[in-house]
Structure 1
Amino acid sequence: MGENVSFWQSLVTGHPVCSEWKQEAEGSIYQLASVLFVLGCMGGSGFFGLLYVYAFFALSFLCTCIWAWLDVCAADVFSWNFILLVICIVQIIHLAYQLRSVTFDKEFQDVYSSVFQPLGISLTVFRKIISYCNAEVVTLERDHCYAVQGKTPIDKLSMLVSGRIRVTVDGEFLHYIFPLQFLDSPEWDSLRPSEEGVFQVTLTAETKCRYITWRRKKLYLLFAKHRLISRLFSVLIRGDIADKLYALNEKVFVDSGFRFDIRLPNYYHVALPGRSNTATPIIRVQDFSTKRKSAKRL
């Protein structure tokens, strides 16, 4: 016990106390090194944040090396700061290489900038979504079908990048699919991972289209490994389904001319004049494509 006390006493009080402080300040190089180090501590996260941090740290350690070599003439101070400088340079090279390797085709870059980046998804996470599932960009010529009702199996998930897709069932027009919308989100959400099925609608390209496609099984494997990506796609797919339901809602109206809202079906029992609350209005689906054709003929 006495040995421990003497050790702590020598550690705390065994060294000479500063009787007086040095009057003159260190040179401008040392002050610049301190300022650069403080600026480096203000960096953020992510690739660019780390580049910012290591760049300022490298400049700070470089200034400290110059100060130790010219003013202090201390080999140990110079050596330690030089080692730290080399570590920062290696980190900068490594980060720059990673940033350079995270490059995508134009279609992937557009999808990332428009869909994933606003949600705070980093380039590294997006690279996993692209590379792990072997995502590819496919071209669909005009009047060619992406899926045929009752025949095409549901084995992938695709997002339209350019063009326009027409959705029909039994030859009747339902709605359009526009860029940055999923082509098969309702089909994806209707099946469990272990289930199989076929499309109940036909998807036909009205113009030349390009879309990104992921294989279903590989996406599920990715979801099992990364819960963040699983939740991300769950939000995107369900939002896409909601947009498609609203597009269908624009075509539905009741027999008296009131537009039918799929969210409030009971509203029309009390809103329609001259009807009892128990009466059920007749719901009709308006075929806008027929109206457009007749208008063109006129």
Structure 2
Amino acid sequence: MGTQVYKSLFQPLKVSRHQFKRVINCMKLIRYVKFQEIYAQEKITRVDSLSLVLSGRLVISQNGRALHIVSQHQFLDSPEWFGVSTDEFFQVSATAIEDSRVLIWHRDKLKLTIMGDQFLQAVFDHILGRDVVKKLMQVNESLSGMGNGHCIANLSDESETKPLLVVKKGEESGSITAIINRQLQGRKLHP
């Protein structure tokens, strides 16, 4: 687990193994999230951690509308890293669309640990900032697709040509899970 995350995200930015070990020591747990399980619920779940998807995929939605998909080595709560306190709540929901594993850091402990290392602070700001920009681009592309009568909610690297979720205008009624289930009927997911 740690080696793969290090090689993918931190080693390319010249983070030493010693620095990475300090980051990993702030880990709270690795949570297994089953298909259709809600990881975070808007306006209910507190923003008190930093969560990195190790495997699987989760759909991010707001008011029952899919915004984008979070997959391997993407953060579930990167926007909340910037300027949101731990006593606030998620403004979106995250629901597993595959069995998933999520690495969860103690957010405050992690921030305190990297506070004394300007380089490590810059690395986290870079990684999380890049993650936020990617999410914003996906949401923007999803919303611009609505002008054609469809909202394409999966623009992940793995399936650029095959959207996972297409919500037609007027199909917003019903839960996001029901819409996803209709879309997934007959489709094989790879955990």
Shorter-chain TM range is: 0.7 to 0.9
Distance 1:178 1:113 in 2: 17
Alignment of 1:75-94 (within 5 A): none
Q: Is the 2:61–2:67 Cα contact (8 Å) retained in structure 1?
A: yes
- Aligned-pair distance for 1:225? 2.0
Q: What aligned pairs does 1:1-298 form with structure 2 within 5 A after superposition? A: 107-131=1-25, 133-192=26-85, 196-253=87-144, 286-288=150-152, 289-291=166-168
| Cα deviation, residue 290, structure 1 | 2.4
**Alpha-carbon contact 1:253-1:286 (below 8 Å) kept:** no
Question: Between Structure 1 and Structure 2, whose CA radius of gyration is higher?
Answer: 1
**Unaligned regions of 5+ residues in structure 2, if any?**
153-165, 169-179, 187-191
**Secondary structure of the equivalent of 1:290?**
strand
Distance change (3 Å), C-alpha of 1:256 and 1:166: closer
Distance 1:286 1:218 in 2: 42
Report the structure, 1 or 2, having the larger strand content.
2
Distance in structure 2 (CA, Å) of the matches to 1:226 and 1:148: 33
Instruction: Tell me the CA shift for residue 254 of structure 1.
Output: 8.3
Is the 8 Å Cα contact of residues 33 and 101 (structure 2) preserved in structure 1? Answer: yes
Q: Which amino acid aligns with 2:55?
A: S
Encode CA deviations 1:250-270: one digit per residue, 9 max, x unaligned.
Answer: 11238976xxxxxxxxxxxxx
Task: Show the counterpart of 2:189.
Answer: none
Q: Is the 8 A contact 2:27 2:103 kept in 1?
A: no
Runs of 4+ in 1 over 3 A off after TM superposition: 254-257, 291-294
Distance in 1 between residues matched to 2:125 and 2:135, nearest whole Å = 16
Answer yes or no: is the 8 Å Cα contact 1:165–1:205 preserved in 2.
yes
Residue 230 and residue 290 in structure 1: after superposition, are their counterparts in 2 closer, same or farther (change >3 A)?
same
- RCO higher in 1 or 2 (8 Å CA, sep ≥ 6)? 2
Higher helix share: 1
* CA–CA distance in structure 2, aligned partners of residues 217 and 256 of structure 1: 41
CA contact (8 A) 1:156 1:216 kept: yes
1:271 aligned partner: none
Cα distance in 1 between the residues matched to 2:6 and 2:146: 44
Deviation of 1:196 (Å) = 2.4
Q: May I ask how many residue pairs the two structures share in their alignment?
A: 160
